[in-house]
Amino acid sequence: EAGVAQSPRYKIIEKRQSVAFWCNPISGHATLYWYQQILGQGPKLLIQFQNNGVVDDSQLPKDRFSAERLKGVDSTLKIQPAKLEDSAVYLCASSSAGGTEAFFGQGTRLTVV
């Protein structure tokens, strides 16, 4: 089966610019996660969707980050405006249900300069 697809793989932007990441989960997976992994730290959950509803977005900086999963399949994560500290790998993962094994995409490495 096809894995979790993410794009782009790499992105370099200047601070205060906007950026968007895209994720296509494994077919049939109801749960989709966006994680932020800053160098030297473990992945931090930004937002968890169950189908097209938000289960947890408590650690999403809502003043600049937004995410949607309109049809319960693909998802986009947006940062507007970006700050230097947003430089990280953004991982998308999906699972058949919350708390079960998550399958990860290859991530988008964002560098904000």
Site residues (vs other proteins, CB under 8 A): 3-4, 31, 33, 35, 40-45, 48, 55-56, 91, 97-107
Nearer to other proteins, 30 or 73 (CB): 30
Distance CA 49, CA 56 (A): 7
- The whole-angstrom separation of Cα 58 and Cα 37 is 16
Please answer whether residues 77 and 34 qualify as being in contact, where contact means their C-beta atoms are separated by less than 8 angstroms: yes
Closer to other proteins by Cβ: residue 17 or 52: 52
CB 28 within 8 A of CB 38: no
Residue 12 or residue 18: which is nearer to other proteins going by CB? 12
Q: How far is the CB of 98 from other proteins (least distance, A)?
A: 3
Question: Whole-number minimum distance, CB 49 to other proteins, in Å?
Answer: 12
Smallest distance from other proteins to CB 42, Å: 4
Q: How far apart are CA 22 and CA 25, in angstroms?
A: 10
